[in-house]
Structure 1
Amino acid sequence: MADFVSKSVVKSAERELATPLAGKAVLNTIVGNILADNPWGCTPYTSGGETFPAVAKSSEYYSGAVIYENNDGKQVGRISVRSPASGAFDTIIATILADNTIETAMGGTPSHDSSEDGYSITLKCHAANGELYNVTFKRDKVSISSYESDSILTTVETWADTVSELA
């Protein structure tokens, strides 16, 4: 019987942040700078006849909740929110907070604690050596996945060391 033989070794790495990102604006600034400045030296590429940028968002979401508390401070309701864009998330939260019909139905006062929000942006990157890899930013960690060359990890890690929010 024939054995399977490894053809590649796909790696992943994760950096736990000492302090969670202060908010989605910080995350969006970091990602915006990456998309504008390409600090990892990624290169555009062609696949299936289509040209792709060196670095691009491949997924993005924002999540949080509006909590309803009665006059005794007891939680009487909760609405979870998940949105594909930062601005849409803000709009949805504001709309829920302002909706008196929902407030009456829940029997409590709404509030939104942004310190409990979650968010994730994944960037798809094409390294100069031809590898495609992903870098995912979340509130409390940054991860790199689907890379083979250790130079990719070194490049991203060296860059991350220069961004104080990613310490």
Structure 2
Amino acid sequence: MADFVEKTNVKTAVRELATPIAGVSTFDSIVQSVITDNPFGCVAWTEGGVSHQPVEKSKEAYVVKVIYQDTDAKTVGNDSCKFDTIAGFNAGATALLGSAPLAAAHGGTAVRDPDSETYSATIRCRDPNGELYMVTIARERVNLSSYSDDAIRTKVETWADTVAALA
């Protein structure tokens, strides 16, 4: 029988944040700064005839949370909705908070639960060495995945050290 022989050693690294990112605006500014400023020194590339920017947002998700409270401030229900844009997230929050039929069905008043809300964005980067890797920024952690060169982790870690919200 033939043995499997390792061809690559792909790594993943995670930074758990000391405190969650404060809000969606702070989160968005962090993500946009990576895309705009390219702090990892990524390079443009072409794959399958498609040209790619050095840094691209490949996926994003935002979950709004609402609780319903009775007249004694006791939680009597909850709702959550997932959106793929910040605009959708904000519009969805407004719709949930303003929905009289939902409030009546839950038997309470809608109240936003921002501490339970989640956001994440995956950024795809092409290193000058040819490696394609992902940085996923979430409210409580930053994941670096699909890399093999430790210099990539060092670049991402050095950048994260300069962003107060990612401590």
Please, what TM-score do these two structures have when normalized by structure 1? 0.96
Q: Which moved more, 1:12-21 or 1:128-137?
A: 12-21
What's the offset of the Cα at 1:75? Answer: 2.2
Unaligned runs of 5+ in 1: none
Partners of 2:17 and 2:166 within 8 A in 1: yes
Q: How does 1:47-126 map to 2 (within 5 A)?
A: 47-126=47-126
Q: Which moved more, 1:153-162 or 1:63-72?
A: 63-72
CA–CA distance in structure 2, aligned partners of residues 8 and 101 of structure 1 = 55
CA–CA distance in structure 1, aligned partners of residues 27 and 155 of structure 2 = 19
What's the offset of the Cα at 1:72? Answer: 2.9
CA–CA distance in structure 1, aligned partners of residues 32 and 73 of structure 2 = 40
State the Cα RMSD in Å: 1.0
Q: Which amino acid aligns with 1:87?
A: A
The aligned residue for residue 21 of structure 2 is 21
Q: Percent identity?
A: 46
1:81-104: CA deviation from partner (whole Å, max 9, x where unpaired) = 111011111111111111222222
The aligned residue for residue 127 of structure 1 is 127
Please, what TM-score do these two structures have when normalized by structure 2? 0.96
Partners of 2:64 and 2:92 within 8 A in 1: no
What's the offset of the Cα at 1:107? Answer: 1.3
